Copies of this chain bind each other. A is one copy, B any other.
Amino acid sequence: MDVVVLAGGYGGARLAATLSEHLAGAGGADHGGHLTVIANVADDVRLHDLYISPDLDTIMYTLGGGLDTERGWGRRDEAFRTNEELALYGVPTWFGLGDRDLATHLVRSQMRRAGYSLTQVTAALCRRWGLEEAGVTLLPVTDDRVETHVVMQTDAGPEAVHFQEWWIRHGAQPRPQEFVQVGLSDARPSREAIAAIQQADLIVLAPSNPVVSIGPILAVPGVSQAIVESPAPVVGVSPIISGRPLRGMADTCLNAIGVDVSAEGVASHYGAAREGGLLDTWIIDTADAGQQAAVTASGIDCVVTGTVMDSPAVRAGLAAAILAQVRS
């Protein structure tokens, strides 16, 4: 059984880990399942001349057991000596660069400058974290540069900054007027990612930010089309529970593009597969059970279950609900 997950950072990483936990047994005794995670790269940023891929790293660290789960990003047993020193040199340090985390960026940057693609670099980094042995392949959606910039509304008028700068430096406070994916129209999708989509038995949209995480994955030319054309069912997990994201600022982002901040609103945004959209099935949290009828009415099968992946029972239930959608 080949499952493909489209994922951003924290929420995507947790869903990938949840599926990975339950997939090995799900394929039957003879053939364990394989998970391919196609990650967003539009959060990627170049800082201190280092190539930083926050979503790829969060997913890799989560699957490899190295994530600081309290903080939700970066490495366990982390310190920030290098960043402290960078500050003393007068270098901007709003991006929290941990000392352990830095090793990942150094290896990636050296390999990138030596000419390796982000796909190749990611594979090399993942070996250390044992992803292959766990039956997981992590792929950037593209090897090309696609970078989300945010047009912020400021007192002095609109100002465009890199997504990370808006998100971290400005705490996502200035109201976003527009999200622009720089480089998107020229980007080519990863060949490996397209092949995984074509061969999938199930495609999952993780409960990541629909605007700045899943959005830029789907918008890489060729990706949405490959998903629509794939015989695999597409199931999504709502990132909105009770009108709020569990974490992050999907509400601010959805507002900016005029999408209702609700489980139902995001389902409509992705659209029903039977009407040319993406979703065959939409999984919403029990807290939003009241929206099930409306989602169903829009032509998308709607499953209600626990989606807050804090307990083994909820994770098992969610994995079962998702894997039940696999094409037979």
Q: How far is the CB of A65 from chain B (nearest CB, A)?
A: 13
A98 to B77, CA, bound (A): 16
Q: Please give the count of copies of this chain that the complex contains.
A: 2
Given contacts A84-B100, A99-B99, 20 further A-B contacts (CB under 8 A): A48-B106, A48-B107, A49-B110, A49-B113, A79-B81, A81-B81, A81-B103, A82-B102, A82-B106, A83-B103, A85-B100, A85-B103, A86-B103, A86-B106, A86-B107, A89-B107, A89-B125, A91-B103, A91-B106, A91-B107
Q: How far is the CB of A250 from chain B (nearest CB, A)?
A: 31
Scan residues 208-223 of chain A and give those whose CB is less than 8 A from a CB of chain B. Answer: none
- The residues of B that contact A262 with a CB separation of less than 8 Å are none
Partner of A106, one of B49, B79, B103: B49
Which of A79, A90, A106 is the most central at the interface, judged by chain B CB atoms within 10 Å of its CB? A106
Q: How far is the CB of A193 from chain B (nearest CB, A)?
A: 24
A253 to B322, CA, bound (A): 68
CB <8 Å contact, B109 and A89: no
CB <8 Å contact, A104 and B128: no
Q: Is the interface of A mostly helix, strand, loop or mixed?
A: helix
User: CB of A308 within 8 A of chain B?
Assistant: no
- The residues of B that contact A107 with a CB separation of less than 8 Å are 48, 86, 89, 91
CB <8 Å contact, A82 and B110: no
Q: How far is the CB of A151 from chain B (nearest CB, A)?
A: 27
- Binary per-residue interface labels of chain A (98-132) against chain B in the complex, 1 for a CB within 8 Å, 0 otherwise: 11101110110110011000000000010010000
A313 to B125, CA, bound (A): 54
Which residues of chain A have a CB within 8 Å of any CB of chain B? 48-50, 75, 77-79, 81-86, 88-91, 98-100, 102-104, 106-107, 109-110, 113-114, 125, 128
- The residues of B that contact A75 with a CB separation of less than 8 Å are 85
- The residues of B that contact A49 with a CB separation of less than 8 Å are 106, 109-110, 113-114
Residue in B closest to A93 when the chains form the complex, CB atoms: B103
Q: How far is the CB of A73 from chain B (nearest CB, A)?
A: 16
CB <8 Å contact, A99 and B82: yes
A90 to B110, CA, bound (A): 13
17 contacts between A and B (CB under 8 A): A49-B109, A49-B113, A50-B106, A79-B81, A81-B103, A82-B99, A82-B100, A82-B102, A82-B103, A83-B103, A85-B104, A86-B103, A88-B103, A88-B128, A89-B125, A89-B128, A91-B103
- The residues of B that contact A85 with a CB separation of less than 8 Å are 75, 100, 102-104
- The residues of B that contact A84 with a CB separation of less than 8 Å are 100, 103
Residue in B closest to A112 when the chains form the complex, CB atoms: B49
- The residues of B that contact A98 with a CB separation of less than 8 Å are 81
- The residues of B that contact A82 with a CB separation of less than 8 Å are 82, 99-100, 102-103, 106
Q: How far is the CB of A119 from chain B (nearest CB, A)?
A: 17
Residue in B closest to A128 when the chains form the complex, CB atoms: B89
Partner of A99, one of B77, B81, B88, B110: B81
